[in-house]
């Protein structure tokens, strides 16, 4: 069937009534919807009640307080962890230190036993600066004499693990200073220093001479004590 401008349609009365009712309902629904939209636009915005506001505010505050507590707990845990790490490091260092100190001590003791390097001597202390530097050495021996009694000086060559010098109270630069500073009352006088501190002194009597064998035994005994202290320090 073709539809054109000459086509004709026939509607019954029932069909026309149904169509009119449908159109009327659609138009009515449209106006009703427009009225609802207008009314909704004119309605005031809903307000939050005081009770609801207080509840939400308290909830937020509680959340903040709990978060702060959690942060503090985390900080405390971090402190405890750091302390644990430090304790572990300290224990390891102590254990390692003891082992290394024993190793150093044994090595050093063996070095002492095998040492063949003799104590070397300067012909004399040269100046005040050299005297001041004596405090930097672990073991220093200074034999103080006078020019007129120089033949009474002991030959200290052959001593080990300590350096030694000859000094004269007649030296123009430092003689009077060392005589006063070291309280020289007789010559020769042999003074032993450990890092600048006097630990032993041997003085001549009225004969202005020293017993060489006795003095050397005493010096060697003091050197052994110095070496023992060094070994104990390593341990």
Report the first-to-last Cα separation within the chain, whole angstroms.
121
pLDDT of residue 147: 93
Task: Give residue 124's pLDDT.
Answer: 63
In a domain, 143, yes or no: yes
Cβ–Cβ under 8 Å, residues 193 and 173: no
Q: How far apart are CA 157 and CA 87, in angstroms?
A: 51
Domain-located, residue 57? no
The Cβ of residue 171 has, within 10 Å, a number of other Cβ atoms equal to 17
Residue 38 lies in a domain: no
Give the pLDDT confidence of 3-58 residue by residue, as tens digits: 555 666 565 667 767 777 787 787 778 778 777 777 767 766 656 566 776 777 77
Do the beta carbons of residue 153 and residue 145 sit within 8 Å? yes
Element (H, E) at 151: none
Q: Which residues pair with 189 in a beta bridge?
A: 144, 203
Tokens of 1: 């069937």
Quick check: 70 pLDDT over 50?
yes
CATH number of the CATH domain containing 147? 3.40.30.10
pLDDT in tens, 172-227: 888 898 899 899 999 999 999 998 889 999 999 889 999 999 999 999 999 998 88
Look at residue 41 and tell me if it is in a domain.
Answer: no
- Look at residue 74 in the predicted model and tell me its pLDDT: 78
Burial 84-113 (b: 16+ CB within 10 A, else e): eeeeeeeeeeeeeeeeeeeeebeeebeebe
- DSSP class of 119: P
The rounded distance, in Å, linking the Cα atoms of 208 and 185 is 11
pLDDT digits (tens, 9 = 90+) for 88-124: 766 665 655 545 555 555 544 544 444 434 344 445 6
- Residues 59-70 as b/e (b if ≥16 CB within 10 A, e otherwise) read eeeeeeeeeeee
Q: Which residues span the domain enclosing 148?
A: 121-234
Residue 2 falls within a domain, yes or no? no
Task: Count how many domains the chain has.
Answer: 1
SS3 state at 105 = helix
In a domain, 115, yes or no: no
For residue 28, being part of any structural domain is answered with: no
Higher pLDDT, 77 or 2: 77
pLDDT by residue (tens digit) across 137-156?
Answer: 888 999 999 999 989 999 98
Answer with the residue of higher pLDDT: 45 or 163.
Answer: 163
**Quick one: pLDDT at residue 116?**
37
**pLDDT exceeds 90 at position 60:** no
Question: Within a domain: residue 96?
Answer: no
61-87: average pLDDT: 76
């Amino acid at each position: 069937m073709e539809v054109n401008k000459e086509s004709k349609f026939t509607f019954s009365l029932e069909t026309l009534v149904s169509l009119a009712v449908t159109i009327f309902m659609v138009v009515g629904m449209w106006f009703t919807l427009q009225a609802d939209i207008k009314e909704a636009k004119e309605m005031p915005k809903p307000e939050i009640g005081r009770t609801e506001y207080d509840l939400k505010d308290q909830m937020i505050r509680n959340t903040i307080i709990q978060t702060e507590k959690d942060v503090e707990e985390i900080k405390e845990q971090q402190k405890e962890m750091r302390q644990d790490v430090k304790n572990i490091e300290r224990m390891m260092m102590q254990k390692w230190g003891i082992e290394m100190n024993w190793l150093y001590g044994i090595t050093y003791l063996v070095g002492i036993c095998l040492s063949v390097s003799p104590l070397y001597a300067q012909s004399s202390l040269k100046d005040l600066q050299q005297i001041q530097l004596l405090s930097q050495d672990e073991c220093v021996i200074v034999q103080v004499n006078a020019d007129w009694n120089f033949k009474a000086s002991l030959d200290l060559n052959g001593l080990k693990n300590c350096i030694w010098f000859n000094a004269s109270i007649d030296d123009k630069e430092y003689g009077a200073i060392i005589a006063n500073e070291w309280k020289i009352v007789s010559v020769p006088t042999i003074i032993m220093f450990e890092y600048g501190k006097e630990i032993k002194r041997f003085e001549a009597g009225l004969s202005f001479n020293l017993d060489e064998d006795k003095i050397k035994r005493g010096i060697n005994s003091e050197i052994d004590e110095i070496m023992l202290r060094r070994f104990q320090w390593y341990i």
